[in-house]
Amino acid sequence: MPSFDIVNKIDHQTLDNAVNTSKKEILTRFDFKGSKTEIDLDKKELVVRITTENDLRMKSVVKVIIERMIKQGLDAKSLDLSKEEYPSGAVWKKEIPVKEGLDKEIAKKIVKEIKDLDLKVQAAIMDDQLRITAKKIDDLQKVIALCRQKQDAWGVPLQFVNMKS
């Protein structure tokens, strides 16, 4: 029976490369000369930590990181920018978690949208991914088209892996 998985994964090495090129760019920019700006990627917790001197520089650093991620082929929606920066003494700090895997609520929304299509497909939530099975590959293609169309509304970058026929 044909099937595929819907996942939200990010390539850790590519993310590391994007953060490192962001560091290099910040070091060479004229408006950051002599500043105490630091960018660090915690690979275990998947959190980007930024420390800089003021709010304006913080916004510039976040913008550079997003631009580098896009140039490296990563989806910027995988960064959780909802946390605000906070002052800590003379510096501003910000932690940006990297979202990986599908949350239960988002997985339930995706399953509901798939069931609303009235196709003969089954969607099963497996930990942090979805497995979609059907008798026809055409039905699976319709599910992929729906997910690509709606992924902006869900706020999660989706990848479709393990296509088996």
Are the C-beta atoms of residues 1 and 137 closer than 8 Å to each other?
Answer: no
pLDDT in tens, 93-136: 999 999 998 989 999 999 999 999 888 999 999 989 999 999 99
In terms of Cα–Cα distance, which of 115, 162, 157, 105 is closest to 139?
115
For 81, other C-beta atoms within 10 Å of its C-beta total 12
Query: How far is Cα of residue 115 from the mean position of the Cα atoms in its chain?
Result: 25
Boundary-marking domain end, from 70, 97, 124: 97
User: Is residue 64 domain-shared with residue 132, that is, in the same domain?
Assistant: no
User: Is residue 83 domain-shared with residue 39, that is, in the same domain?
Assistant: yes
pLDDT in tens, 42-56: 999 999 999 999 889
Query: How far is Cα of residue 85 from the mean position of the Cα atoms in its chain?
Result: 19
**Structural domain boundaries enclosing 108:** 3-8+101-164
Residue bearing tokens 């599908």: 102
**Euclidean distance between CA atoms 63 and 59, whole angstroms:** 6
3-state DSSP percent of the chain in helix, strand and coil, to 5:
45, 30, 30
User: Is residue 114 domain-shared with residue 75, that is, in the same domain?
Assistant: no
Q: Which DSSP state fits 79? A: B
User: Is residue 78 domain-shared with residue 20, that is, in the same domain?
Assistant: yes
Does 87 score more than 90 pLDDT?
no
Report the pLDDT value the prediction gives residue 72, as an integer from 0 to 100.
94
pLDDT in tens, 55-65: 899 999 999 99
115-117-118-123 Cα dihedral, nearest 10 degrees: -30
Q: Extract the tokens encoding 79.
A: 């960064």
User: Is residue 31 domain-shared with residue 79, that is, in the same domain?
Assistant: yes
